[in-house]
Amino acid sequence: MRVASSNWERKQKESQGYAIKNFLVDRSMSILVLGTLLTVFLLTTATREMTDQIVRDGALRQAQALVQTFQSMAFSSKPSSLQIQNMVSKVEQDLKGEGQGVRLITMPANPFERRDAQGSGPLDDFQRKALRQLNEGKVPSFCGLSEYKGEVSFRYAVLLSGPEESPGVDLLLEVVQPLGSVRADIKRQIYSGAGILLGLGGLGLWFLGAVFGRLKNLRDHRAASESILQEQVQQLLSFVSRAADGDLTSDVPFQGEDSVGMLASGLSVMINQLGELVWQSQLLSRQVVSSLSEFASSALRQESIVLEQSHRSSTLAKAAVTILDSSLSVESTMESMTVVAEHTATIAASGQAGLETMEWTMTQVTQSVERIQQRLTELNDRAGNIGGVVTTITRVADQTNLLSLNASIEAEKAGDYGLGFGVVAEEISRLADQTAVASLDIEEMVNEMQNAVAAGVESMKQLAEDVGMGVLHVQTAADQLTLIMYEVQQMVPKFEEVATEIRSQSLLADDMNETIQDLEGVARSSVDAIRESNHAINELKCLAMLMQGEVERFKVHQ
Amino acid sequence: MTTPGDKNCWRKIGVWGLESPRCELLELHLHCRNCAVFRNAGREQYNREIEIDYLKLRTEELAQPPKQVDKGRKESLMVFEAGARLALPCELFKEVMKSSPIYKVPHFKHPAFLGLVAHNGRLRLCCSLPVILGLDRQRESDFGFMVILEIQGELIVFPVSKLEGIRRYQASAIKPSLTSEREGLFSFSRGLLENNDVHLIDENKVLTSIKGALRPI
Amino acid sequence: MLYLVLEIDGECYGLNALSVTEVTPLVELEQIHEGPEFLAGLLNYRGRPVPVLDLRRMIKKKPCEKRYCTRIVIVEYPRTTKTLTLGLMAQKVVRSVRVTQEFSPMELRNAPYLGGAVVERGRILHCLTLEKILSPQQALEVFG
């Protein structure tokens, strides 16, 4: 427009340049309108995403406030049904102040109760998940983003234990805050701002269009009475040229009653009015730029907040993953411990069996030792009996000796007749002596044998004692092994219990991880949205500043 | 080291001992039985203190008056077993010896003639008394002893299964056998002893029977 | 000549075998309380009472111990016109010995019963003279 107005006087002699000028003047309007519309559309889209984020943020804050109320409710010891009613109504009261669309849903946790209760249909996914988690008692509360009655809502649920008089009638309390209501508020505000901006832009453009329209008429008129009005037109042209250059402060060079003078005075009025309008536009555009700057800075803050939140949730996610890993490793350790414990029990059982065999064997040994002792004692008795035999042999030897003496005496008395008999008597005497020696030898042998047997009996007694001690030791060991086996067998189910618990905990961590990842995704998309909105705002700001620059070019009376 | 005269030297360095060197006295005595050490050791055994009950027993024995000896004629008979319980006068017995190998003689098939037996460096006839007496044939396992009888100057060996011992009988104790019996054992019997259980054999008839058996066919 | 050897505390006393009736084992003797010390008691010898002298008591002033080898030798003791049966109890009577040499003569006032000595297999053998085994006074004490 500036180019067109500055070159207008110079190029009016050239018919070709004149045509181009006309074209530009005709099209500039529509280009302006289109640009403004595009800007407004971009602004609207960016604003919409930004509002969503703000809404979620706000909903989260509200929910966090509610969490504490519910937690205090849920963990107070077994409230009565009246207390529950009071609490519920109080929460409902509180929620009314929180915003449009925020509501409290109470639902019996028991499926039979639920079937009887009015207006409660089947549970949706969120409620089922919440009920499962809460029923297991692993988490105090459950929250997430989910659709409720066709609206994306932030939902927060706790399980309220039933009244003391009827245990098992637990209530699932749920706060639903639809994101749409908040979004509408903010959207409305932004849209109104944008409308004002659009109106102002339109008004400015309309004035420019009017000016250009007048200028066109003037040009047509001049073509008819070129020669007469040359001077005046020239003057007016310079005046208009100044105005076109943006100087709306100069006065009309002349005034008159003729058409040119009328034109001049009209032009003067128009320029003045235009100046006023431009001044107003300047004011407005300054306001728009400043408000957009604020907007941009607040969007930046928002981005940093969301980034921080995203960072936190990623930290949380890491922690959850760590918990998951550690609980998995604990679980596997528990399982291996169970296996080891069972193995230990098996080994102990086999050890016990071995000990029983050993005990049996030792008992056998003890019995054998007793039998041997008995035999040895018998042997000793027999050996003692041999002593009696020795006495008999000694007596026989003695009697034989006596016989030989008498025989030799008789032989001597028989004289020569008894000589042979004397020899026999001598032989008998020798026999008697040999018998006596034999009895001596036997006696000594018996003594040796008795000594050996006595030693044997003694060592057998020692052995019996040792074996007895061994049996005692083995019995003690067997008892201890039995105890170990009992303890280990007791341990196995405990391990399994712990493993089960850990498994459920890991499931929980898994869920938590999932939720956190959802949250992280939301945060990430929020960051993206904010960035986009930032970008849009910056663009808008640039446009506004451009517009301001253009508007500022006009010199106007302050 | 054991020296002669030590306790049990005969079992250590004597004939029953394993210790070396062996006893020098063995060279002299050949056997411990001949050694004074051995004999004295045996005689030392008689030094034992006597038991009271044994003393009393012997006192009673010694107090018994001697048995009244029958003044009538007595016969000393050797009672033995060979197919049946038999008896022969003691003076016929030249010697009693342990069973010796019998050398068979070819061409003498008579069952009563068993063969030849070596005695004191000479060969003697060996005959089966039960076969001669018409009793069952003797088995060689029953040959416990061999008795050498001198009948009419002939020395003949008879195997017997058991020797019961020498007994003295009053002449009246020997009952004459039935003269009507002319068969088998009774034809050789001179009389019966001990409730008709033991036959006193007529040795002359036995010799006649042997001579008949040895006649060349 | 054959001699029956009577040992008393290691000393050997020989008694001519021809003068010996029988050797009997040691038996219980009937004690004679009023009798002399050397009289061991009365022996019931096949229904006959026979006085028994304790040779150990006579020679060693100690009574015989009761052992298997302690025996009583029955002898015929010559007394003036007739012989009297007498038992001699000695500590150890287990052997007889044939003596071929002459006994060296001996005459002891305190021991008249020793009739000489001879060395037999390295040991001194005293010869007992049966007639003098009791002094006349002792014979009186026993036989009256």
- State the CATH number of the domain containing residue C43: 2.40.50.180
ipTM, interface predicted TM-score of the complex? 0.93
Closest-approach residue (CA) in chain A for B58: A399
CB-based contact (8 Å) between B116 and chain A?
A: no
CB-based contact (8 Å) between A429 and chain C?
A: yes
Which residues of C fall within a CB distance of 8 Å from B56? Answer: 28
What would the mean pLDDT of C11-25 be, rounded to a whole number?
94
Closest-approach residue (CA) in chain A for B34: A430
The pLDDT of residue A5 is: 45
d(CA A273, CA A280): 11
Residue C124 three-state SS = strand
Which residues of A fall within a CB distance of 8 Å from C20? Answer: 409
Residues of chain A with CATH 3.30.450: 15-189
Minimum distance, in Å, between the CA of residue C71 and any CA atom of chain B: 11
d(CA A502, CA A62): 33
Mutation target for C interface from B29, B39, B40, B62: give the one with most C CBs within 10 A: B62
Minimum distance, in Å, between the CA of residue B167 and any CA atom of chain A: 20
Which residues of B fall within a CB distance of 8 Å from C28? Answer: 55-56, 59
Name chain A's partners: 3 or more CB pairs within 8 A.
B, C
Do the Cβ atoms of B10 and A437 come within 8 Å?
A: yes
Question: Where is C102: in which H helix or E strand?
Answer: none
Buried b (16+ CB within 10 A) or exposed e, C45-77: beeeebbbbbbbbbbeeeebeebbbbbbbbbeb
Higher confidence at residue C85 or residue A279? C85
- Among residues A145, A154, A143, A146, the alpha carbon closest in space to that of A181 is found at A154
Do the Cβ atoms of A401 and B46 come within 8 Å?
A: yes
CATH (residue range A15-189): 3.30.450
CB-based contact (8 Å) between C24 and chain B?
A: yes
Closest-approach residue (CA) in chain C for A414: C18
Cβ under 8 Å to A: C residues 89-108: 93-96
Q: Which residues contact B208 (CB under 8 A, 6 or more apart)?
A: none
Tens digit of pLDDT for each residue in A487-500? 887 877 887 888 78
Could you tell me the two tokens for B189? Answer: 């019997």
Closest-approach residue (CA) in chain A for B16: A441
Could you tell me the two tokens for C33? Answer: 């309380």
Q: Are C26 and B58 in contact (CB under 8 A)?
A: yes
CB-based contact (8 Å) between C8 and chain A?
A: no
Quickly count: other Cβ atoms within 10 Å of residue B217's Cβ.
6
- Taking CB atoms within 8 Å and a gap of at least 24, the contacts of B89-95 are B89/B203, B90/B166, B92/B149, B92/B150, B92/B151, B92/B203, B93/B147, B93/B148, B93/B149, B94/B148, B94/B149, B94/B150, B94/B155, B95/B119, B95/B147, B95/B148
Among A5-14, A188-197, B13-22, which stretch is predicted with the lowest mean pLDDT? A5-14
- Among residues A81, A171, A188, the alpha carbon closest in space to that of A131 is found at A171
Higher confidence at residue B203 or residue A355? B203
CB-based contact (8 Å) between B211 and chain C?
A: no
Do the Cβ atoms of C25 and A413 come within 8 Å?
A: no
pLDDT tens-place values along chain B, 217 residues long: 788 878 888 988 888 888 888 888 888 888 888 888 998 899 888 998 999 999 999 999 999 888 766 666 778 899 998 888 899 998 899 888 888 889 988 877 788 888 899 988 899 999 988 888 888 777 777 788 999 999 888 899 999 988 988 888 887 778 877 666 666 778 888 888 877 788 888 888 889 888 888 776 5
Closest-approach residue (CA) in chain A for B31: A434
Which residues of C fall within a CB distance of 8 Å from A402? Answer: 23-25, 71
Q: Are A334 and A495 in contact (CB under 8 A)?
A: yes
Question: Is C94 exposed, middle or buried, given 0-12, 13-18 or 19+ CB atoms closer than 10 A?
Answer: buried
CATH C-level class of B74-213: mainly beta
Angle CA C70–A387–A372, to nearest 5: 170
Which residues of B fall within a CB distance of 8 Å from A394? Answer: 45-46, 48
Do the Cβ atoms of B43 and C66 come within 8 Å?
A: no
What is the share, in percent, of chain A residues with pLDDT greater than 90?
Answer: 6
Buried b (16+ CB within 10 A) or exposed e, A288-317: bbeebeebbeebeebbeebbebbeebbebb
- Among residues B168, B198, B175, B195, the alpha carbon closest in space to that of B67 is found at B168
Question: Is A286 exposed, middle or buried, given 0-12, 13-18 or 19+ CB atoms closer than 10 A?
Answer: middle
Q: Across the strands, what pairs with A174?
A: A105, A157
Cβ under 8 Å to B: C residues 91-130: 92, 94-95, 121
In what side-by-side order are the strands of the sheet with B189-193? B162-170, B74-81, B85-89, B198-201, B189-193
d(CA A243, CA A274): 10
The pLDDT of residue A14 is: 53
Structural domains of chain C, count: 1
Flag whether pLDDT at C82 surpasses 90.
no
Domain ranges of chain B: 9-63, 74-213
Quickly count: other Cβ atoms within 10 Å of residue A243's Cβ.
22
Domain that includes residue C71, residue range = 2-143
Which residues of B fall within a CB distance of 8 Å from C70? Answer: 50
Minimum distance, in Å, between the CA of residue A381 and any CA atom of chain B: 21
Do the Cβ atoms of A401 and C94 come within 8 Å?
A: yes
What is the share, in percent, of chain A residues with pLDDT greater than 70?
Answer: 72
Higher confidence at residue A365 or residue A32? A365
**DSSP symbols for B68-100:** PPP-S-EEEEEEEESSSEEEEEGGGEEEEEE--
Angle CA C125–C128–C131, to nearest 5: 170
Q: What is the mean pLDDT of chain A?
A: 76
Alpha helices for C37-135 (secondary structure H): 55-60
